[in-house]
Amino acid sequence: MDTQRQVVDRLRSSFRSGVTVPEQFRKAQLTKLMSMLKENEERFLEALHKDLAKPRFEAVLSEVDIVINDLHVTIANLSSWMQPEYVSKSLATKLDDCSVRRQPLGVVLIIGAWNYPLQLLFLPMVGAIAAGNCVILKPSEVSAATDRLVAELVPKYLSQDCFAVVSGGAEETKALLQNRFDHILYTGSQNVARSILQAAAVHLTPVTLELGGKCPCFIHGQVNIQYAARRLVWAKFFNAGQSCVAPDYVLCSMATRDAILPAMRQALEEFYGKEPQKCPDFSRIVTPRHWSRLMDLLGKTSGKVVVGGESDQEDKYIAPTVVVDVPEDDVLMAEEIFGPILPILTVESLEKGIDFINSKEKPLALYTFSNDSSAVKEVMERTSSGGFCSNDGIVHMTLPSMPFGGVGASGFGNYHGRWGFETFSHHRACMLRGWALERLNSLRYPPYTETNLGWLRWTASPNTTCSLM
Amino acid sequence: MERQVVHRAKEAFLSGRTRPVEFRLQQLHALQRMITEKETEICTALKQDINRSQYDTPLLELIGIENEIKLAIDKLAEWAAPRSVERSLFTLRDEVYIQPEPLGVVLIIGAWNYPWAVTLQPLVGAIAAGNAAVVKPSELSEYSSLLLRALLPRYLDKDLYPVVTGGVSETQELLRLRFDHIFYTGSSTTGKVVMEAAARHLTPVTLELGGKSPCYIDKDCDVRIACRRVTWGKFVNCGQTCIAPDYILCEPCIQGRVVECIRQTLLEFYGADPKCSPDYGRIINQRHFNRIMGLMEGYTPVVGGQSDSSQRYIAPTVLKDVPPQSRLMQEEIFGPLLPIVTVSDMDDAINFINEREKPLALYIFCTDKKASKRMIEETTSGGVTVNDVMMHYTVSSLPFGGVGQSGMGRYHGKHTFDQLSHQRACLVRKLGMESVNLARYPPQDRRRARRVRMALKSPLIDMSKRTLIWAIAATVIGFGLFVTLLVILLIAAGLNCTCWYWRGFYNYF
């Protein structure tokens, strides 16, 4: 069993050998990754069920398919992404070959999370491999069954010299971070992110942070209550609320709240039946510790539970729960909930809703439900968030063409599709000049003259066009 | 005091006045006026700071800033507009785009070697992207720093773009506060300190650092022209340029020629005594003067070597056969000393470069295009110029930035705008077409699952205007051709039919 240092060194010397650079190698590895997911889908689904009681449907969509989709897009487009990008030039550089060439960075570390153990590990990995890097995966130890399966399967399918899985807890991760990497992508909490950034600073390693926050869901004005309730409930209780982009809390007027509650009850019954605990389509809380944290919140809230509230400690089950009359300083509003508890807070105007949202940290996602498209536009323009989706939840991050990432306290950097390729590449500016026109060059040499300066100003201007060129 | 300044900038940003593009354009125009109207004062400040010649200042700093401003003014509406992206079947009827948004308050920490360029170029991008910005120029370029503090509030919004002057303690105070992005230009050592401070607030950073930028001169190239270009790049600003060619790599057989050509060029540029040339600069301060002189200890230069501590003058100096383990080769020189290290061939040069930290720039002088491309592919660096030095910096459509120890992030032109914006993914849906959505809700079965998988799948559909127009045009043309074909066939058939019909008719009758 190699030590962490040996693993990093091995990958680094593989990278230095240049083996990951050719397009064929990258495509071959990406294809093998796809095979790994397709051929072992049942085993992955089983592991995910063991870890999170993840319903088959959710696991297939949000863990397997989303990665395979991204793989398709990446494999199909990799050739063109790898091409030099030729850029516009000034008159002085018109005859030069100016391009941006994407180059791999080296050895990339991807630290996954337990809520979507496959997606949050392999989606970044797709971008990292596509960009020509070697990759170390550090799955979350909390989703233990998936961790073990990933550690078993990755070496069987991907090149062992270039890709490795390192398992372990907080101590092992801390030790791993002592090594030097060329990029680190971390998905998780703000506290851990701070220590990762500090470790990265020692080596001047660039970092991508995918964090969380409280994603607001603002329902304003006229709204098709039934449809809004369905989409909101689906997005909130998917994975039992354990999604970084789940709507964390709802903001709406008193009247809307009274109208939407019955619709939500109906939607919940439609989705999970009268007893969600018996429904195979409803997930569980990942660990007893997280279950206790959530139950503690429910216990301490000064709001009123109007839907759900049932729980079962042994089963790590908490029913889909809605809490109303929640004050702004309530315990449910102190931190990201990350569970199947939905507080509803009331605001009586668009203005108050926007002010409320802006009084908090920038979230990873922001949702607005309204038939009034100008209200939607206003919310979007006057707030900031990682991503924005109106009249639905979560789906904005399923598109590989959109960057997925946070801003402010919800993180920085992004990935998915081409964005992953760009994140894990170095954009190298390349200028190839000729030997001729040395006389033109002489304008810049000393001894300096006013005339020469005048010529240079003109030729270097971006607005100078020449009809011949 | 720093706290109040930053707080005021934050409040000003939250007021929303930087959002409209018109406001940003107005500020950019004002900045443009400042550069044009105060060129003389700026040149004077730089002469006092670093003995910069009156031509070098516009050439190396002001033209670049002006071009950035012109470009930003010209393109701002385009840069700030929503950028459409490809969609899936599921989102076909929705608005799907990326909206660039301001981050908030950006901290720009400048450097002393090009005090105006490395503070104002990032500022142009910060303004264009709709941010507020706190500008902290380097205290080592004291006259420039004080002039900037006096000028900026006269032209730009005082609250949004304050200048904070001071030394290490003021910078440390600033770094304790929370920003939405920190843009730092300077040394790798301080870069680490900046990144560590930023870590406390989870603030993203752009670090424009340095390193030893190698310059490889191939034995078969035009050594004379190569040396002219290298000499210019090395000794401009007295070697105090982050992308200056730090050292030369060449084969022993041309080393003598290289030395001679550089000597000739120096004579042409600065005359027999560069100390008397108005175009040759000085070292920024005594500490750096001593540091650079210390690097030379124990080596006899083949060109130059003279110095005058009272003026902080070091002559353009070349040293040959420099051993790779010497002090000269351990740290970034950042001065007018040009070591030549010999290598056996291009492969040896590539290995030499790859054994060291990734530099900010790489220079290759070679007539063989294939060989140059190979060298580019087998090495890495922030940027590369082949057959010249530093010029990749001048093209604003090329991203300027480092990699590894030479930095992270990039800027210039649109890249600054993008670097200091948040690219917000936006999906605007309507509450109709709920039947399509039904497939994704529980309770789940195979049929529903299959439908959803299909809807979310790739390939993606490109709904950008251009593709749409092409698609429509192609369809219309295709349809038109088809109709034409049908008409022709019908006419032909009709004529035939008619003939036969009338024939038949006549026959009948």
Query: How does residue A465 score in pLDDT terms, banded at 50, 70 and 90?
Result: very low
**Comparison of pLDDT for B459 and B296, the residue scoring more:** B296
Q: Where are the strands (E) in A188-289, listed by range?
A: 207-210, 216-219, 249-252
CATH of domain B1-80+103-209+411-421: 3.40.605.10
From A71, which residue of chain B is nearest by alpha-carbon distance? Answer: B458
Looking at residue A306, which CATH number applies to its domain?
Answer: 3.40.309.10
Query: How does residue A408 score in pLDDT terms, banded at 50, 70 and 90?
Result: very high
Query: Closest approach of chain B CAs to the CA of A188, in angstroms?
Result: 13
Annotate B26-57 with b (16+ C-beta within 10 A) or e (fewer). Answer: ebbebbbebbeebeeebbbbbbebbbbbbbbb
Residue A186, pLDDT above cutoff 90: yes
Please list every residue in chain B whose beta carbon sits closer than 8 Å to the beta carbon of residue A376.
428
Residues A128 and A34 placed together within one structural domain of the fold: yes
Residue B445, pLDDT above cutoff 80: no
Residues 6+ apart with CB under 8 A from A266: A226, A229
Testing the interface with B: which of A78, A427, A459, A463 to mutate, by most B Cβ within 10 A?
A427
How many of the other CB atoms lie within 10 Å of CB of A466?
A: 8
What share of chain A in percent tops pLDDT 70? 98
A221 interfaces chain B, CB cutoff of 8 Å:
no
Residues forming beta bridges with residue B206, ordered by sequence position: B183
Average pLDDT, chain B: 92
Testing the interface with B: which of A82, A445, A464 to mutate, by most B Cβ within 10 A?
A445
Instruction: Of B16, B65, B20, give the one whose Cα is nearest residue B39.
Output: B65
* pLDDT digits 0-9 by tens, B138-148: 999 999 999 99
Residues A380 and A418 placed together within one structural domain of the fold: no
Residue A355 lies in a domain: yes
259-278 in chain A: CB under 8 A from chain B: 270-273
Q: Which fold has domain B214-398?
A: Aldehyde Dehydrogenase; Chain A, domain 2 (3.40.309)
* pLDDT digits 0-9 by tens, A340-353: 999 999 999 999 99
CB atoms B70 and A430 under 8 Å: no
Residue A243, pLDDT above cutoff 60: yes
Residue A436 lies in a domain: no
Sign of CA dihedral A394, A395, A398, A401: negative
Active site residue A269: no
What share of chain B in percent tops pLDDT 90? 80
Active-site option among A210, A252, A336, A389: A210
293-352 in chain A: CB under 8 A from chain B: none
From A21, which residue of chain B is nearest by alpha-carbon distance? Answer: B377
Residues A194 and A319 placed together within one structural domain of the fold: no
Residues A336 and A204 placed together within one structural domain of the fold: no
Residue A469, pLDDT above cutoff 50: no
CA–CA gap between residue B229 and residue B185 (Å, rounded): 25
**Comparison of pLDDT for B449 and B82, the residue scoring more:** B82
Query: How does residue A419 score in pLDDT terms, banded at 50, 70 and 90?
Result: very high
A391 interfaces chain B, CB cutoff of 8 Å:
yes
* pLDDT digits 0-9 by tens, B56-87: 887 789 999 999 999 999 999 999 999 999 88
From A376, which residue of chain B is nearest by alpha-carbon distance? Answer: B428
> Which among A182, A402, A446 has the least Cβ separation from residue B269?
A446
**Average confidence (pLDDT) over B337-352:** 97
Please list every residue in chain B whose beta carbon sits closer than 8 Å to the beta carbon of residue A428.
376, 380-384, 403
Active site residue A210: yes
Residues A220 and A315 placed together within one structural domain of the fold: yes
Q: What is the pLDDT of residue B460?
A: 57
Asked if A268 and A276 touch (Cβ cutoff 8 Å), the reply is yes
**Phi, psi (5° rounding) for residue A273?**
80, -175
CA–CA gap between residue B76 and residue B66 (Å, rounded): 15
Query: Closest approach of chain B CAs to the CA of A302, in angstroms?
Result: 31
CB atoms B380 and A98 under 8 Å: no
Asked if A422 and A91 touch (Cβ cutoff 8 Å), the reply is no
Active-site option among A215, A217, A244, A252: A244
Query: Closest approach of chain A CAs to the CA of B165, in angstroms?
Result: 26
* Beta-carbon pairs below 8 A across chains A and B: 308
> Which among B395, B407, B426 has the least Cβ separation from residue A431?
B395
Residues 6+ apart with CB under 8 A from B369: A432
Residue A104 lies in a domain: yes
Q: What is the pLDDT of residue B382?
A: 97
* pLDDT digits 0-9 by tens, A296-313: 999 999 999 999 999 999
Residue span of the structural domain in which A260 resides: 215-402
Residues A235 and A309 placed together within one structural domain of the fold: yes
Testing the interface with A: which of B458, B463, B467 to mutate, by most A Cβ within 10 A?
B458
CA–CA gap between residue A228 and residue A344 (Å, rounded): 14
CB atoms A435 and B376 under 8 Å: no
Residue B178, pLDDT above cutoff 90: yes
A404 interfaces chain B, CB cutoff of 8 Å:
yes
What share of chain B in percent tops pLDDT 70? 94
Q: Which two tokens stand for residue B235?
A: 């000794």
Query: How does residue B90 score in pLDDT terms, banded at 50, 70 and 90?
Result: confident
Residue B304, pLDDT above cutoff 60: yes
A397 interfaces chain B, CB cutoff of 8 Å:
yes
Lowest mean pLDDT among B314-318, B323-327, B489-493, B495-499: B495-499
Asked if A429 and B219 touch (Cβ cutoff 8 Å), the reply is no
Q: What is the pLDDT of residue A468?
A: 37
Please list every residue in chain A whose beta carbon sits closer than 8 Å to the beta carbon of residue B65.
none
Residue with tokens 């770094």: B175
Residues A188 and A311 placed together within one structural domain of the fold: no
Q: What is the pLDDT of residue B472?
A: 84
Looking at residue A33, which CATH number applies to its domain?
Answer: 3.40.605.10
Residues A157 and A252 placed together within one structural domain of the fold: no
Q: Which two tokens stand for residue A236?
A: 């909130």
Residue B53, pLDDT above cutoff 90: no
A94 interfaces chain B, CB cutoff of 8 Å:
no
Asked if B401 and B207 touch (Cβ cutoff 8 Å), the reply is no
Residue with tokens 């290289």: B258
Residues A45 and A142 placed together within one structural domain of the fold: yes
Query: How does residue A443 score in pLDDT terms, banded at 50, 70 and 90?
Result: confident
**Average confidence (pLDDT) over A333-341:** 96
- Which residues of B are designated catalytic? 208, 242
Average pLDDT, chain A: 94
Residues A326 and A299 placed together within one structural domain of the fold: yes
CA–CA gap between residue B78 and residue B399 (Å, rounded): 18
Q: What is the pLDDT of residue B461?
A: 54
Q: What is the pLDDT of residue B459?
A: 53
Residues A133 and A227 placed together within one structural domain of the fold: no
Please list every residue in chain B whose beta carbon sits closer than 8 Å to the beta carbon of residue A56.
444
CB atoms A435 and B423 under 8 Å: no
Please list every residue in chain A whose beta carbon sits closer than 8 Å to the beta carbon of residue B206.
none
Residues A196 and A233 placed together within one structural domain of the fold: no
* pLDDT digits 0-9 by tens, A348-381: 999 999 999 999 999 999 999 999 999 999 999 9
**Comparison of pLDDT for A461 and A13, the residue scoring more:** A13
Residue A388 lies in a domain: yes
Q: What is the pLDDT of residue B58?
A: 79
From A207, which residue of chain B is nearest by alpha-carbon distance? Answer: B204
Please list every residue in chain B whose beta carbon sits closer than 8 Å to the beta carbon of residue A400.
458, 460
Residue with tokens 């002189």: B293
Q: What is the pLDDT of residue B59?
A: 78
CA–CA gap between residue B184 and residue B175 (Å, rounded): 11
CA–CA gap between residue A40 and residue A89 (Å, rounded): 50
Number of domains observed in the structure of chain A: 2
Instruction: Of B80, B124, B82, give the one whose Cα is nearest residue B411.
Output: B124
Locate the domains of chain B by residue range.
1-80+103-209+411-421, 214-398
**Average confidence (pLDDT) over B154-172:** 96
Instruction: Of B19, B151, B122, B143, give the one whose Cα is nearest residue B416.
Output: B122
From A279, which residue of chain B is nearest by alpha-carbon distance? Answer: B443
CA–CA gap between residue A276 and residue A308 (Å, rounded): 9
Query: How does residue A467 score in pLDDT terms, banded at 50, 70 and 90?
Result: very low
